[in-house]
Every structure is written in structure tokens, then in C-alpha cells.
Structure 1
Amino acid sequence: MAKTNYKTIDEYHQVFSGETLERMQTIRKIINEIVPDAKEIISYQIPCFKYNGYLIFYSAYPNHISLSNPFTLDFWEHFKADLEEYKTSKSAIQLPANRPLPVQLIKEIVAFRKKENEK
């Protein structure tokens, strides 16, 4: 995907189709349901949600969708067991395209981040 100067999440989504687009739309819906006051923006040319600071980012790649943020040590400790089967880095969780989207886990991650940002 060539870098584009996206202004909105809808513009970012327009570059994708099929399963990738559906997955991103699902993630967006989850975030908006759990944190209805979150502000949708583009940051670092990817979708970002702000709620008392940065809540969560997501981005699409050929083989996965990443959830990202500078996650806290409390976050990693809380989700340690849940994330063992996923590739992670200090700031990202890769959700493979060849596996079902872990909707419940995403809901729990967003709810946890909401509580963190409310502190």
C-alpha cells in the first residue's frame, strides 16, 4: 500500500476490500460501541481513536491486522495468557488474516484501555 495523506478513517478503509475491510470495520464498530465518546482520527497515517489520550490504533497488512499503542506493563501482564498465541511487539499485536478475528479479545482490550485512560 502506497503512503497516502489520509484525512479520515473512511479514506483509509477505501484502500481495502473483502475480508480485510470487514475485519477493520468490525474493529471500528467494537471501539465505537465500547467507547462511544472516542474521537476518530488519523495518526501516523493509520486509524486512531482518542479518549483521554491515545486509546488504540489499528492498521492492515497483507497477512494481518495490527492493534497498536504504547501498551503499558499492566496491559501486557493482564493479557499475557490471552496473547501467547499472537505475534506481539512492545507496541503491537498482530491478528493473523488466516484465523478468525478474536472479537471477544478485542472487546476486552478496548475496555481495558478505556479504563487505563480514565485513570
Structure 2
Amino acid sequence: MGELDDYLATLDEAERAVLTGIRQRAQELVPDADQGMSYGMAALRHRGRSLVGLVATRNHLSMFPFSPAVVSAVADDLEGYSLSKGTIRFSVEKALPANIVDRVILLRRAEIDAALD
């Protein structure tokens, strides 16, 4: 286990299920991603850079791709969700669509790879 798994284990069952699904999908798409800390939150990292952070708060769940450009790239497909510069907020009841999760992860991976290559 790592930092993200340890964090997810502290959540209630419904929140844990939603965020664990995102973590599992991220690790399928980016198999070399490892768990660590980024900006004070448990996250997956790719090539030493923050790939995606997942957080549950009292009012919502959040996916942090650590990139305003990635959030902007999917914003038009997230009507009804709360977005900020580097965050996508959602709920257990209105989880992120799988295709959006995939796009966010793949876009962030490509951004990290482009910066390091």
C-alpha cells in the first residue's frame, strides 16, 4: 500500500468506492504511476510529477490533475460539475463519467511526458 491507498482506507464506503475506481483506472492507463504526496495530498505520480490527486471533503469529492490546461480541456464536457483552475468537483451521486476520467488522466500523462522529453 501507499499514501493514496492509506488515505482511501480512511473514507466511508461510498466515497472510497468512487475514488478507488478512479485510482484503479489511472493505474491501468499509467501503469508506472506510483503513490506519493503532492501539494499535501495523497496522489499518483508519473515520472516524479503529480498525475492526479483524489480528495473527499465534507461537501464533495475532488480530482486534482494539477493542471489548469487539463481542466480547461475537459470543461465543456462537465456542465453541471464544479470546476476551478486545477480541480474537478463531483459527488458520489454524480460521479465523473468514465470517459472524462480517462481523458483527464491521459491528458495529464501527455503533459508530463512532453515536459520531460
TM-score (norm 2): 0.82
CA RMSD of aligned residues (A): 1.9
Query: What residue ranges of structure 2 are gaps of 5+ in the alignment?
Result: none
- Which of 1 and 2 has higher RCO (CA within 8 Å, sep 6+)? 1
Mapped to 1, the partners of 2:95 and 2:88 lie a distance apart of 15
Change (3 A) 1:76 1:21: closer
Give the corresponding residue for 2:57: 61
| SS at 1:36 equivalent | coil
Give the corresponding residue for 2:13: 18
- One-letter amino acid of the counterpart of residue 93, structure 1: I
The alignment-based identity, stated in percent, is: 24
Task: Count matched residues.
Answer: 112
- One-letter amino acid of the counterpart of residue 90, structure 2: L
Query: What residue ranges of structure 1 are gaps of 5+ in the alignment?
Result: 1-6
Mapped to 1, the partners of 2:72 and 2:20 lie a distance apart of 28
Give CA deviations for 1:52-105 in whole Å, capped at 9, x if unaligned. Answer: 3211111112332101143143x2442131123210111111012221442221
TM-score (norm 1): 0.81
Mapped to 1, the partners of 2:59 and 2:71 lie a distance apart of 23
